[in-house]
């Protein structure tokens, strides 16, 4: 099993933008940015990461999206685990770099103590945590809905039978979708909607000094941003299939223009074949 370096780099870049913004906003007590700064930074991270590797692996930034594409047979199942491991590892490494870069600011803000609770907590710079008022069931629903909306939006972008987006504009469009979700659905528990985006940084905080509380706090809430998006993604995909894709008109097969075919064959025959294999391929193509 091989870690995909391109996917690792995507999550590294995404988390570097997002966690750096979170560290800057929190450690400065919002004097050097606000909550919107974090949302916008994550969106810019999504866009830049997609442009970076879209032509290599299809820009897989989210295990929930990768799982949904496997179910839809757009991605081979054998790629699921290597992609997910690469995504988690990339998020972990990015969190480590943010910690090193903002170490002094984090320590000053937390008064030298790395905590998960209280006014000086710093764990939320890296992973997501629920609001005090939120129940476990509602936080689960929150993540299912957010991830479902993500899939419902992105699946239509390359649909030729509908109104497909220009290929070069898909990264900024996806970034805008992520920005919209994070601005409208992040009050409850941070709008993780991405298991790797949460697990990688949470594992880092476990090893960097925050301790096991990052997994046990809020009634072991950590499993919610891991499991709920993996359910929300396929559910959003099902909604898209039932209400959109299956309703689109089937493209009619146009009758082939015989004159064009004859002309094409004639031109091909006039061109000298460089190898016997080329001639065989031509024959199998047209007859």
Residue 151: CATH number of its domain: 1.20.1080.10
Tokens of 285: 């193509």
Tell me, yes or no, whether 221 lies in a domain: yes
Tell me, yes or no, whether 174 lies in a domain: yes
- For the chain, give percent helix, strand, coil, nearest 5: 70, 0, 30
pLDDT of residue 67: 97
Tell me, yes or no, whether 287 lies in a domain: no
Buried b (16+ CB within 10 A) or exposed e, 23-36: bbbbbeeeeebeee
Tell me, yes or no, whether 276 lies in a domain: no
State how far the Cα of 68 lies from the Cα of 171, in Å rounded to an integer: 19
pLDDT of residue 217: 96
Tell me, yes or no, whether 264 lies in a domain: no
Domain count, the chain: 1
Give the whole-number percent of the chain exceeding pLDDT 70: 87
Tell me, yes or no, whether 254 lies in a domain: no
pLDDT of residue 59: 79
pLDDT of residue 4: 84
Tell me, yes or no, whether 72 lies in a domain: yes
DSSP string over 122-169:
-GGGTS----TT--HHHHHHHHHHHHHHHHHHHTTTT-TTS-PPPGGG
Tokens of 70: 């496997």
Q: Are 87 and 62 in contact (CB under 8 A)?
A: yes
Tell me, yes or no, whether 15 lies in a domain: yes
Domain of 80 in residue numbering reads as: 5-247
pLDDT of residue 168: 93
CB within 8 Å of 91: residues ≥ 6 apart: 11, 12, 14, 15, 196, 197, 199, 200, 201
Instruction: Please state the pTM of the whole predicted model.
Output: 0.85
CB atoms closer than 10 angstroms to residue 39: 21
pLDDT of residue 283: 28
pLDDT of residue 53: 83
Average model confidence (pLDDT) across the chain? 87
Identify the burial level of 229 via C-beta atoms within 10 angstroms of its C-beta, where 0-12 means exposed, 13-18 middle and 19 or more buried.
buried
CB within 8 Å of 247: residues ≥ 6 apart: none
Q: Which residues of the chain have pLDDT under 70?
A: 1-2, 252-287
DSSP string over 259-286:
HHHHHHHHHHHHSPPSSHHHHHHHHHHH
């Amino acid at each position: 099993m091989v870690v995909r370096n391109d996917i690792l780099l995507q999550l590294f870049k995404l988390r570097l933008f997002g966690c750096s913004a979170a560290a800057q906003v929190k450690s400065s007590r919002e004097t050097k940015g606000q909550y919107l700064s974090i949302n916008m930074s994550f969106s810019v991270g999504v866009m830049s990461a997609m442009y970076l590797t879209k032509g290599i692996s299809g820009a897989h930034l989210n295990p929930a999206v990768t799982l949904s594409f496997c179910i839809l047979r757009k991605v081979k199942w054998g790629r699921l685990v290597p992609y997910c491991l690469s995504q988690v590892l990339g998020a972990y490494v990015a969190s480590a770099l943010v910690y090193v870069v903002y170490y002094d600011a984090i320590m000053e803000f937390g008064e030298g103590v790395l905590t998960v609770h209280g006014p000086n907590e710093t764990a939320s710079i890296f992973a997501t945590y629920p609001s005090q008022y939120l129940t476990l069931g509602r936080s689960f629903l929150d993540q299912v809905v957010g991830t479902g909306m993500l899939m419902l939006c992105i699946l239509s972008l390359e649909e030729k039978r509908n109104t497909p987006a220009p290929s070069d504009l898909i990264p900024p469009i996806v970034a805008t979708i992520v920005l919209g979700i994070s601005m409208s659905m992040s009050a409850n528990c941070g709008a993780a909607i991405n298991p790797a985006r949460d697990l990688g940084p949470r594992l880092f905080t476990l090893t960097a000094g925050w301790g096991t509380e990052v997994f046990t706090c809020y009634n072991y809430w950590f499993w919610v941003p891991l499991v709920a998006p993996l359910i929300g993604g396929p559910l959003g995909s099902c909604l898209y299939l039932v209400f959109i894709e299956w309703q689109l008109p089937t493209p009619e097969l146009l009758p082939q223009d015989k004159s064009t075919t004859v002309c094409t064959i004639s031109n091909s025959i006039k061109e000298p074949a460089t190898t016997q294999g080329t001639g065989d391929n031509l024959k199998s193509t047209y007859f």
